[in-house]
Amino acid sequence: MSQLHDLQFHIDQAIFTEVLACIPRAWKNAKLEASSRDTSGNGSSVAIRIDAMKQPGIALVSDPLQSQVRELFLLNKRFKTGLRRIVYTYSQQPDGRWSFVADYEYA
């Protein structure tokens, strides 16, 4: 694996853990959507939301989750990948374990 993939793997795992901590226990799936855009100067703005996927209840984005998502975008900025948007779709399996699929959008 490349250095980027090694570093990003650990951030993806931390995001996974934080999303599960943010969602109601009754949910069987969820979707995390986050995007980054450059602002004036050298700054950037990150927008994050957790979609209930038509399930009752809400999920609030925690400070640790915000921090991990920002870290992911900063890592990709450091490696100049052009990452602009991420979508993680989480699903609880019949045996109770969770899995996720990641989709990355680049400029």
Q: Where are the domains of the chain?
A: 3-106
Each of the 107 residues of the chain gets a pLDDT tens digit; together they read: 589 999 999 999 999 999 999 999 999 999 999 999 877 767 788 999 999 999 999 999 999 999 999 999 999 999 999 999 999 999 999 999 999 999 999 98
User: What CA–CA distance (Å, rounded) separates 42 from 63?
Assistant: 23
DSSP class of residue 62 equals P
Q: Which pTM was predicted?
A: 0.90
Query: Span 3-106: which CATH code?
Result: 3.30.500
